[in-house]
């Protein structure tokens, strides 16, 4: 005869929602969170997506898909900085000004008024750490340990910038290097301790990810021993150019340098997953694998692969679409896939809810305290947990904004439709922006690779029938712009001085007025 408690538990276990979540009779402990970012890795570089097409396997990354959900409509941003900023801040990078890479010594970085996912996790009692490539400002005030993280060990720039001091024409004057050169690999702590562990040289690049993996494992060990839930954000340097493989990796696939690097990267992901297994906490750990932006195709054969048109830095899908694999025990059904539109800035409110801090966008809009600091900001991310659990029938996200590195709004996706006001063709270094007389319309389900506007002779007729789209799209843009005058805002930096003109000076006056907006105290 079953007891009343056993009967209730059996009833709970058959309540399996749409996404495969399981409604438990008792509240589960706070989940650990491990987020792994690759760098410039394309959708097709992961065998769970390419099904063997590329000739090599990524079994460790594939394991996350096998034990969780593979997403087909996931968006990062168009560059390294923007993708990371969207994830850790929950705001669109246009709002925080973090649309493209900053230069060494630049005052540009994470603004003090912006809360991070680390702040939210600290509020809930988590141990927080970030390891690997950071890209969100290189001054001490920008370091993760000033923004909600207990520990940080990583580099602060894109990889080709790190090796500039070793290039042929780089000035040999030590004073030049001191004033304009990159900082070394930084190890810092929330108590204010900052250690420069030395430059990230080409030789050190061969094994730097091994250093980061070891530090991440040590942090998980310490957190588990202290019986504290952890949030670890691991940012691999693979596969950003230029790639310097460690001994034993070069030539492993027989296909090329990039596949060899992907196999090396996959093994490091496997080490992190094995640590969860060894600690016996895999069943209570959310694991997310994704990348910062679309693949960089301009550097082929040392480049990522993607079936989508365009690449990193462009306004096309190839610049913004990213792989996304999520293992969430008890919430996401193992071996499933999702065609849901989801973006990096959705993870801040979603993971905050998982940690016991619901309604983060609504509360931050009114003003709230996180990690001992007062914030009032507009989050652009949506809480996906109710949808994942099956409590909500519809996905909370309908739109995605495609901003360029200089802050130009190039396109907007609304549901399955993409309206491109301008197109940036080419990559980060050589891309150029073209504004057409009429916006270009694409249905991303009917034409996912954006070929119809350029190959179909019937496209103009088809597009004319879709002019009704301009009304809801205009509404979405106006609502986004309206929030900019109500909440803190930081303008971005543009690396191309060709944009400097008299209009720049007029815009600067407007930005001064916007900057006077201060978060509520």
**pLDDT of 521:** 45
Whether the pLDDT of residue 154 is over 80: the answer is: yes
Span of 332-336, 391-395, 492-496 with lowest mean pLDDT? 492-496
Give the C-alpha separation, 440 to 12, whole Å.
49
Q: What is the mean pLDDT of residues 411-433?
A: 92
Whether the pLDDT of residue 203 is over 80: the answer is: yes
**pLDDT of 431:** 82
For residue 42, give every residue at least 6 positions away whose Cβ sits within 8 Å of its Cβ, in sequence order, or none: 294, 295, 304, 305, 306, 318, 323
CATH 3.40.720.10 range(s) for the chain read 32-398
Q: CA gyration radius for the chain?
A: 23
Q: pLDDT digits over 464-506, tens only?
A: 999 999 999 999 999 999 999 999 999 887 766 665 565 555 6
The pLDDT confidence band at residue 512, using thresholds 50, 70 and 90, is low
User: For the chain, what is the total number of helices (H) and then of strands (E)?
Assistant: 19, 18
Closest CA to 38 of 73, 11, 74: 74
**pLDDT of 83:** 98
Q: pLDDT digits over 81-92, tens only?
A: 999 999 999 999
- 32-398 placed in CATH 3.30.565.10: no
Are 78 and 90 a contacting pair, CB within 8 Å?
no
Are 144 and 118 a contacting pair, CB within 8 Å?
yes
Give the C-alpha separation, 69 to 64, whole Å.
8
Whether the pLDDT of residue 38 is over 50: the answer is: yes
Strand partners, 286: 33
Q: What is the DSSP string of 154-196?
A: E--S-HHHHTGGGSTTS---HHHHHHHSPP--EEEETTS-EEE
Half-sphere exposure of 48 (CA within 13 A, CB side): 25
Whether the pLDDT of residue 67 is over 50: the answer is: yes
**DSSP-H helix ranges across 56-132:** 59-66, 80-89, 93-96, 117-123
Closest CA to 291 of 12, 35, 32: 35
Whether the pLDDT of residue 224 is over 70: the answer is: yes
CA of 497: how far to CAs of 180, 275, 283, 511, in Å?
18, 47, 51, 18
Closest CA to 85 of 99, 103, 102: 99
Residue 247's CB: how many other CB atoms inside 10 A?
Answer: 7
Whether the pLDDT of residue 139 is over 60: the answer is: yes
- The overall average pLDDT reported for the chain is 91
Whether the pLDDT of residue 509 is over 80: the answer is: no
**pLDDT of 1:** 40
**pLDDT of 430:** 80
Query: Whats the size of the chain, residue-wise?
Result: 521
Are 379 and 372 a contacting pair, CB within 8 Å?
no
**pLDDT of 511:** 60
Q: pLDDT digits over 239-276, tens only?
A: 999 999 999 999 999 999 999 999 999 999 999 999 99
Q: What is the mean pLDDT of residues 410-417?
A: 98
Q: What is the mean pLDDT of residues 226-243?
A: 97
Q: pLDDT digits over 399-410, tens only?
A: 999 999 989 999
At which residue do the structure tokens 């929330």 appear? 190
Give the C-alpha separation, 384 to 20, whole Å.
14
Are 235 and 130 a contacting pair, CB within 8 Å?
yes
Q: What is the mean pLDDT of residues 102-106?
A: 82
**pLDDT of 8:** 35
Give the C-alpha separation, 490 to 93, whole Å.
9
Q: What is the DSSP string of 351-417?
A: HHHHTT---HHHHHHH-EEETTEEE---------HHHHHTS-SS-S--EEEEE-TTS-EEEEEETTE
What are the two backbone dihedrals, phi and then psi, of residue 516, each rounded to the nearest 5 degrees?
A: -70, -15
Whether the pLDDT of residue 383 is over 90: the answer is: yes
């Amino acid at each position: 005869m079953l007891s009343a408690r056993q009967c209730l538990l059996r009833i709970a276990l058959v309540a399996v929602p749409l996404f495969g979540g399981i409604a438990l009779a008792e509240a589960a402990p706070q989940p650990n969170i491990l987020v792994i970012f690759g760098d410039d890795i394309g959708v097709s570089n992961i065998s769970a997506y390419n099904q063997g097409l590329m000739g090599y396997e990524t079994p460790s990354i594939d394991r996350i898909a096998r034990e969780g959900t593979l997403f087909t409509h996931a968006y990062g941003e168009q560059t390294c900085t923007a993708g990371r900023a969207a994830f850790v801040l929950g705001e669109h990078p246009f709002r925080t000004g973090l649309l493209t890479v900053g230069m060494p010594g630049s005052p540009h970085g994470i603004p003090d008024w912006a809360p991070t996912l680390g702040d939210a996790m600290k509020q809930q009692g988590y141990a927080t750490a970030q390891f690997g490539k950071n890209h969100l400002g290189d001054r001490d005030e920008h370091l993760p340990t000033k923004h909600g993280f207990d520990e940080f060990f990583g580099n602060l720039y894109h990889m080709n910038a790190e090796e500039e001091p070793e290039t042929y024409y780089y000035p040999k004057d030590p004073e030049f290097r001191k004033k304009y050169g990159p900082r070394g690999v930084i190890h810092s702590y929330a108590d204010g301790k900052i250690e420069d562990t030395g430059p990230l040289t080409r030789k050190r690049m061969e094994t730097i990810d091994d250093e980061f993996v070891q530090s991440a494992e040590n942090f998980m060990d310490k957190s588990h021993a202290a019986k504290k839930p952890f949030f670890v954000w691991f940012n691999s340097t693979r596969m950003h150019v230029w790639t310097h493989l460690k001994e034993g990796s070069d030539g492993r696939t027989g296909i090329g340098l990039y596949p060899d690097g992907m196999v090396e990267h996959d093994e490091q992901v496997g080490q992190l997953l094995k640590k969860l297994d060894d600690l016996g906490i895999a069943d209570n750990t959310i694991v997310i694998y994704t990348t910062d932006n679309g693949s960089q195709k301009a550097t082929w054969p040392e480049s990522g692969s993607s079936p989508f048109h365009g690449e990193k830095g462009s306004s096309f899908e190839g610049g913004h679409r990213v792989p996304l694999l999520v293992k969430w025990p008890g919430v996401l059904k193992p071996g499933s896939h999702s065609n849901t539109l989801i973006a990096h800035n959705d993870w801040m409110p979603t993971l905050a809810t998982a940690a016991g801090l619901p309604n983060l966008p609504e509360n931050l809009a009114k003003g709230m305290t996180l990690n001992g600091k007062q914030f009032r900001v507009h989050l652009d991310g949506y809480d996906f947990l109710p949808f994942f659990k099956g409590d909500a029938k519809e996905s909370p996200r309908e739109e995605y904004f495609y901003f360029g590195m200089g802050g130009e709004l190039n396109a907007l996706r609304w549901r399955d439709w993409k309206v491109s006001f301008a197109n940036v063709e080419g990559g980060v270094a050589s891309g150029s922006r073209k504004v057409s007389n009429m916006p270009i319309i694409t249905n991303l389900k009917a034409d996912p690779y954006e070929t119809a506007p350029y190959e179909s002779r019937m496209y103009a007729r088809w597009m004319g029938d879709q002019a009704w789209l301009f009304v809801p799209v205009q509404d979405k843009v106006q609502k986004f712009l309206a929030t900019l005058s109500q909440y803190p805002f930081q303008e971005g930096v543009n690396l191309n001085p060709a944009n400097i003109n008299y209009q720049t000076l007029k815009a600067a006056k407007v930005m001064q007025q916007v900057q006077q907006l201060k978060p509520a105290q």
